[in-house]
């Protein structure tokens, strides 16, 4: 099987955001050459699966304008000319936001950019296109019957290949394949982290209130969080800063020695694929060897609740409310699997919805108290290796497989805590991920911790 575990290298340079930005600023690389390298990568079977639309000509005009200003000695934004792919869930002025569906084909184009998109444009990023995704972001597999199924870079030489993870599947593939230097997605139950794991990259789920949600088509307003994916923790930190209204800074590495990490043993460790378990335990050993204190904890309240993929949930209630009119008028335009999932929220009573919010708040408070002595929680990002596309047919199989993929990631969304996943596999092996869960609203501290642990967790060639 073919799998690249390291950042894509183009013309002897990595596709790390800071490397590309530095090369553009120094004149070592032109914005047009950088763009053309990305467009060449998109011009492939997997490129066509990864994107819904490619804005090649507009992106070329933007790149040429950047190069002209650079030659004229103008002062440019820090990330001028760096390519950016955008999940088909964000508004871009003048474009229709379809959310990976055909249901919104006749919707009016957006009049303004989503705020996070506008901030990235202002920082100089050049949007190369809109990436494919699970329809309306409601699955952890990343499959799409309308625009094709993005595939993990792992195992593309085997049959139909393996899922890229969802819902932000095309965004993750665009980074892994060198189709863009930066990307943004969204995360409601694991939708930046599952694709990041299955594509061998890094992904961040911020605290829900960190990013403005205007101009982002919602799935669940209580759980949705726009977030970045990239080749490194620093890539995610740069994008996180900009999306939240900052200047695009990274965080200084938090020293590993003396850190206290908690392993939430229990249902989150049940039924792990062998390689997932082995890679995670290897990561723990490497961390312990450099002075990180690893403690097993038991969070009994989570054992009782097991919040991931509950048949009746806040997410399902809110998703149905958003889609009930569209389902009533055009259900035949939906992916049948997604329509079935959305319709499942129809019978949730208002009293139950209110009670679920009350219960969630109580669980978050109790878990916060139990985990306060620790700097972060650490666990396998997903219990499974990427599932094979060939075996995923029928609504029941899709639901079961998606639920397993998102079992561990959904915990962070329920607790509303920032979480980052870092690749944990050896080069050439199937991709696995190690997740660090921080404290709510302490996103930048989590990024500093992750920056200090990244080189310990990642297994280099």
pLDDT digits (tens, 9 = 90+) for 375-402: 999 999 999 999 999 989 999 999 999 9
| Percentage above 90 pLDDT, the chain | 94
Q: What is the C-alpha separation between 186 and 228, in angstroms, rounded?
A: 8
Q: What is the pLDDT confidence band of residue 360, given thresholds at 50, 70 and 90?
A: very high
Q: What is the pLDDT confidence band of residue 336, given thresholds at 50, 70 and 90?
A: very high
Question: What are the residue ranges spanned by the domains of the chain?
Answer: 9-303+358-457
Q: What is the pLDDT of residue 306?
A: 87
CATH number listed for the domain at residues 9-303+358-457: 3.90.1300.10
The closest of 405, 406, 394 to 315, measured between CA atoms, is 406
User: Is residue 29 within 8 Å of residue 10, measured between CB atoms?
Assistant: no
The structure's pTM equals: 0.97
| Length of the chain counted residue by residue | 461
Per-residue DSSP letters for 396-411? HHHHHHHHHHTTTHHH
Mean local confidence (pLDDT), 309-326 = 91
Between 81-85, 125-129, 218-222, 310-314, the lowest mean confidence (pLDDT) is in 310-314
Mean local confidence (pLDDT), 422-438 = 97
Mind telling me the catalytic residues?
87, 167, 191
The closest of 409, 423, 21 to 182, measured between CA atoms, is 21
Query: 216: which residues sit within 8 A by CB, 6+ positions away?
Result: 89, 90, 91, 114, 116, 186, 224, 226
Mean pLDDT for the chain?
Answer: 96
The closest of 128, 109, 106 to 31, measured between CA atoms, is 128
HEC readout, 271-303: CCCHHHHHHHHHHHHHHHHCCCEEEEECCHHHH
Between 10-14, 58-62, 68-72, 116-120, the lowest mean confidence (pLDDT) is in 10-14
Q: Tell me: the pLDDT tens digits for 130-163?
A: 999 999 999 999 999 999 999 999 999 988 999 9
Better-scored residue on pLDDT, 274 or 12: 274
Mean local confidence (pLDDT), 251-255 = 97
């Amino acid at each position: 099987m073919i799998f690249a575990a390291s950042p894509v290298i183009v013309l002897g340079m990595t596709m790390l955001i800071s490397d590309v930005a530095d090369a553009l600023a120094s004149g070592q690389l032109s914005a047009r050459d950088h763009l053309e390298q990305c467009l060449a990568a998109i011009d492939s079977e997997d490129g066509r699966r990864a994107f819904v639309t490619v804005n090649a000509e507009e992106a070329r005009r933007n790149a040429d304008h950047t190069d002209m200003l650079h030659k004229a000695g103008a002062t440019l934004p820090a990330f001028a000319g760096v390519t950016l792919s955008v999940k088909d869930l964000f508004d871009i002025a003048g474009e229709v936001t379809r959310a990976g569906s055909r249901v919104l084909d006749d919707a009016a184009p957006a009049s303004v950019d989503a705020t996070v998109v506008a901030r990235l444009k202002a920082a100089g990023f050049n949007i190369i296109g809109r990436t494919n995704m699970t329809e309306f972001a409601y699955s952890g597999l990343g499959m799409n019957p309308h625009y094709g199924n993005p595939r993990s870079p792992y195992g593309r030489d085997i049959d139909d290949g393996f899922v890229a993870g969802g819902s932000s599947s095309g965004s993750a593939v665009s980074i892994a394949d060198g189709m863009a230097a930066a990307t943004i997605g969204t995360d409601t139950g694991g939708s930046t982290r599952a694709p990041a794991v299955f594509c061998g990259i890094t992904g961040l789920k911020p605290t829900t209130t960190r990013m403005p949600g205007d101009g982002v088509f919602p799935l669940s307003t209580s759980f949705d969080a726009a977030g970045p994916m990239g080749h490194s923790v620093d890539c995610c930190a740069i994008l996180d800063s900009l999306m939240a209204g900052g200047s695009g800074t990274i965080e200084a590495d938090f020293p590993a020695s003396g850190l206290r990490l908690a392993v939430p043993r229990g249902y989150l460790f049940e039924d792990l694929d062998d390689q997932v378990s082995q890679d995670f335990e290897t990561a723990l050993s490497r961390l312990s060897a450099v002075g990180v204190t690893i403690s097993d904890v038991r969070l009994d309240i989570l054992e009782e609740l097991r919040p991931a993929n509950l048949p009746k949930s806040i997410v399902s209630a809110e998703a149905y409310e958003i889609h009930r009119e569209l389902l009533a008028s055009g259900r035949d335009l939906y992916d049948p699997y997604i329509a079935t999932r959305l319709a499942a929220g129809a019978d949730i009573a208002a009293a139950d919805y209110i009670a679920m919010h009350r219960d969630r708040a109580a669980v978050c408070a109790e878990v916060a108290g139990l985990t306060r002595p620790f700097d972060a929680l650490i666990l396998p990002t997903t219990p499974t290796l990427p599932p094979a596309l060939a075996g995923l047919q029928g609504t029941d199989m899709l639901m079961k497989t998606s639920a397993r993929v998102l079992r561990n990631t959904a915990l962070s969304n329920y607790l509303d805590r920032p979480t980052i996943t870092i690749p944990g596999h050896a080069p050439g092996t199937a991709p696995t991920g190690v997740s660090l869960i921080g404290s709510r609203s302490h996103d930048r501290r989590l990024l500093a911790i992750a920056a200090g642990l990244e080189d310990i967790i990642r297994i280099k060639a």
